[in-house]
Amino acid sequence: MRSFGLVRKALVLVFLLGCMALPLYAADTIKIGEIATVTGDFAAYGVAEVESVKIAVDEINKAGGILGKQVEVIMYDCRTRQEDMVNAARRLVEQDKVTAVIGPSGSGLCIAAAPIFNRGKVAHLGTLPTNPLVTMDEKGNVRPYNFRICFLDPYQGKIIAVFAAKDLGRKKAAVLYDVSSDYSQGLREFFIKSFKEYGGEIVADEGHRGEDVDFRAQLTVIKDANPDVLVIPTMGKCLPLAVKQARELGLNVEIIGGDGYGDFMWEIVGDAMKDSYWVSHVDRFDPTLADFFAKYEKATGTECMEFMNAVMAYDCVYWLKDAIERAGTDDPVKVRDALENTKDVKLMHCTLTMDEFHNPKDKDGIILVSDIEKQKAVFLKKIKP
């Protein structure tokens, strides 16, 4: 999904930011933890988050830091594996004694580590984990120390359903999803529920496992069901492979996916991305984001391809900065309280207010459409179901 050169650069960055728990600044600093998927299936997303956190922290430190202290980032690569996510969380909470932890984007990863953050009383800010269980347990209780900056799968699933049924006028949907992914299962569930409420029919519902690379058997079943729209609620390397194979099998219906979209997909799919639509948390061509993308390219020497992850990670740093300043301390419990009471905080991509479940309140959903000429997904419309 990324060139080997960029992966090597990311691994160097892991070392510099604290994989060995080396101090970046003097002892009297505010320590922030970061967990990212720098290697593994979600590496492209993780690299974007690491670079963006670094940009934000550098800006803050050059401007005087937070509460007069410099910010130190301690980052671990969880390698897109739940066991590594849990180990990284435990290390940040118990050994590194950080004020709060940012990232990663995977719902399953964040859910796995949630007990660590709550037992250790250290707030966790998810960048793009959209499954409801990230901030609520199986009994429906709010996880006190878990927060997110993105909207949820029920909201995202409804956005896909509204767009498919109302905007595209489709009646028969097929779904190809990852049975091993909390993110994919949740998005599938909420899309199906909402699509049926709008009078739609699910004519095929096919699953695969995350490590799979061949989806032709499932896609053949889907093609035989004669859908008029195909929904693929996945992320990582399986997403572009599924799109490519669907087109190769002659499935020429519109394809709709969630926020797993990344520009890296074009390298695999090419012009077969035609007639595909993607839910996004941001409009990459919003003028208010232009300065950030310019800074990203200057800092990294590359275009910001996984722009959703980059924007969310950058804004998480400034959200945490605001919470620490409102708390007047870097004490983790008081910072948690400030995060919970976030109201009308102006960030780069939105004005953020937390609801009672530690989720953003009333954020717009964005529909992107694949543009063959630009080889990018571009803004189509906003939807607030």
DSSP code at position 329: S
Q: Which of 16-20, 227-231, 248-252, 368-372 has the lowest mean pLDDT?
A: 16-20
The confidence score (pLDDT) of residue 17 equals 42
> 385 pLDDT band (50/70/90 cuts)?
confident
CB 250: neighbour CB atoms within 10 A?
A: 8
Closest CA to 88 of 61, 60, 120: 120
Q: Decide if 204 contacts 175 (C-beta within 8 A).
A: yes
Domains, the chain, with CATH or none: 4-151+287-352 (3.40.50.2300), 153-280+365-383 (3.40.50.2300)
Hey, what are 191's tokens?
A: 């899309």
> 196 pLDDT band (50/70/90 cuts)?
very high
Residue 125 has pLDDT above 90, yes or no: yes
Residue 178 pairs with which residues in a beta bridge?
208
* CA angle, 314 then 151 then 52, to 5°: 10
pLDDT in tens, 318-368: 999 999 999 999 999 999 999 999 999 999 999 999 999 999 998 889 999
Residue 254 has pLDDT above 90, yes or no: yes
Dist CA 284 CA 274 (whole Å):
19
Exposed e or buried b per residue across 195-224, where buried means at least 16 C-beta atoms within 10 angstroms of its C-beta: beeeebebbbbbebebebeebeebbeebbe
Hey, what are 384's tokens?
A: 């607030």
Phi/psi for 249 (5° steps) reads -85, 0
The confidence score (pLDDT) of residue 6 equals 37
Greater model confidence, 202 or 382? 202
Residue 19 has pLDDT above 80, yes or no: no
Looking at every residue in the chain, the average pLDDT score rounds to 92
Q: What is the mean pLDDT of residues 290-294?
A: 97
> 25 pLDDT band (50/70/90 cuts)?
very low
The confidence score (pLDDT) of residue 33 equals 98
Residue 370 has pLDDT above 80, yes or no: yes
Residue 7 has pLDDT above 60, yes or no: no
Residue 22 has pLDDT above 80, yes or no: no
pLDDT in tens, 130-164: 999 999 999 999 999 999 999 999 999 999 999 99
The confidence score (pLDDT) of residue 236 equals 87
pLDDT in tens, 159-193: 999 999 999 999 999 999 999 998 999 999 999 99
pLDDT in tens, 211-225: 899 999 999 999 999
Residue 287 has pLDDT above 70, yes or no: yes
The confidence score (pLDDT) of residue 27 equals 54
Distant-in-sequence contacts of 352-355, Cβ < 8 A, 24+ apart: 352/149, 352/315, 352/319, 354/147
Percent of the chain with pLDDT over 70: 93
Percent of the chain with pLDDT over 90: 85
Q: Which of 21-35, 186-200, 307-321 has the lowest mean pLDDT?
A: 21-35
Q: What is the mean pLDDT of residues 57-62?
A: 98
